[in-house]
Amino acid sequence: MAIRQSGISLKEFNTFGMDVKARDFSRVSTLDDLWQVMDWIENEPGKLLFLGGGSNLLFTSDFDGWAVAIQNKGIEILSRNEDFVRVKVAAGENWHDFVMWCVENGFGGLENLSLIPGNVGSSPIQNIGAYGVELKDSFQSLEAYDLESREKLVLEFKDCRFGYRDSIFKQELKGRVILWSVTFRLSVQPVVQLSYGAISQELNAMGILNPGIKDVSEAVCRIRRSKLPDPAEIGNAGSFFKNPVVSAEKAEMLQASYPGIVTYPVPDFQVKLAAGWLIEQCRFKGFRRGDAGVHPNQALVLVNYGSATGSEILELAEEIQQAVLEKFDVLLEMEVNVV
């Protein structure tokens, strides 16, 4: 049975550590809980916010509405053959814990996504990615519920329209459905993905010549810990901005003016630029104003050193956007959802 609470702090539900309050709050672990809360909300219309791990949120004020924490649990092997295993995971499971479960069971495909904060239910929304791998590479399907009709929807790969940090859940279906579980197709005989140079370098430093998925996961964790702050110690939401994608012509012009610019080719004759490099060139790496700042080891990460407000973080983000736009004629898009 769901419980309604009022004036609850959401500090534990956002990795920036903003101590804002929700007008109403409920935890949901079953479908019965979910529909009970939706019944309450239908009788008292207002803002609705679903919470997972809170790793992609920036609160700029108290939330004048109903915040619902999705906390359903469960990992189930649906089928397995000599090549692949299909695993269904509840939306409320912690992402990194699930990746570690896969690694321990020898199921490959997600090890490069180790230590990404957040819950499984949020992972398809962003099409999370890191170190040469994206969620879509191992995704098979998901179960969601239409919040109006309450009907179950099963969406296959093609239905989700995955893009770079994008999906249909950030477009047409935004605010219309709640993701309840995700099914992955993982390899029983995994081939490690080492295309991202930093992984190979870290494995060499570890003295590992023939790495398995456990080695790759450990290397990724070491890299992330060396570059990125732990949200439990310093409030942050990981990468605050998307790496911008520009035309090949635009990239060529930028390379002529800035030979050191970091670029990655992507499909459709486009080029991805490293947002962190752009920000660093604008001298924001390590910048701090009060308790709002840019991490000294990774310019893509904005941080709350203790008592910064969401508005102060947002003001800094907008200042960075303007500086990059003026210097490079490139507009950085925020990856974080501002509430």
How far apart are the C-alpha atoms of 181 and 51, rounded to whole Å? 15
Specify whether 335 is catalytic: yes
Specify whether 27 is catalytic: no
Specify whether 150 is catalytic: no
Q: Which of 143, 315, 319, 335 is catalytic?
A: 335
User: What token pair was written down for 290?
Assistant: 């009060």
Q: Which of 122, 141, 217, 239 is catalytic?
A: 239
Q: Which of 165, 185, 222, 224 is catalytic?
A: 165
Q: Find out whether 127 and 166 touch, Cβ atoms under 8 Å.
A: yes
Cite the active site residues: 165, 239, 335
